Amino acid sequence: MDKNLLQVLACPHCKEKLFYSEDINKLECKLDSLQFPIEDNVPNLTCKENFE
């Protein structure tokens, strides 16, 4: 996971910063308790089930 990329990423829901969780290889928004998978080093911020 590119640290520079992480700096510019924001939660699509609350626009706060995301945190990278190395254990599960996912980005997390602590405010919303959302998790975003990283696929081929590209974070998938459109994870649909998060918004249903």
**CA–CA dist 36, 39 (Å, integer):** 10
Regarding 27 and contact with Zn ion (CB under 5 A), the answer is no
The residue from 5, 7, 10, 14 that contacts Zn ion (CB under 5 A) is 14
In terms of CB distance, is 21 or 40 closer to Zn ion? 21
The CB-of-25 to Zn ion minimum distance in angstroms stands at: 19
Residue 13 binds Zn ion (CB under 5 A): yes
DSSP string spanning 1-52? --HHHHHH-B-TTT-PBPEEETTTTEEEETTTTEEEEEETTEE-TT-GGGG-
| Complex with Zn ion: residue 33 or 41, whichever CB lies closer | 33
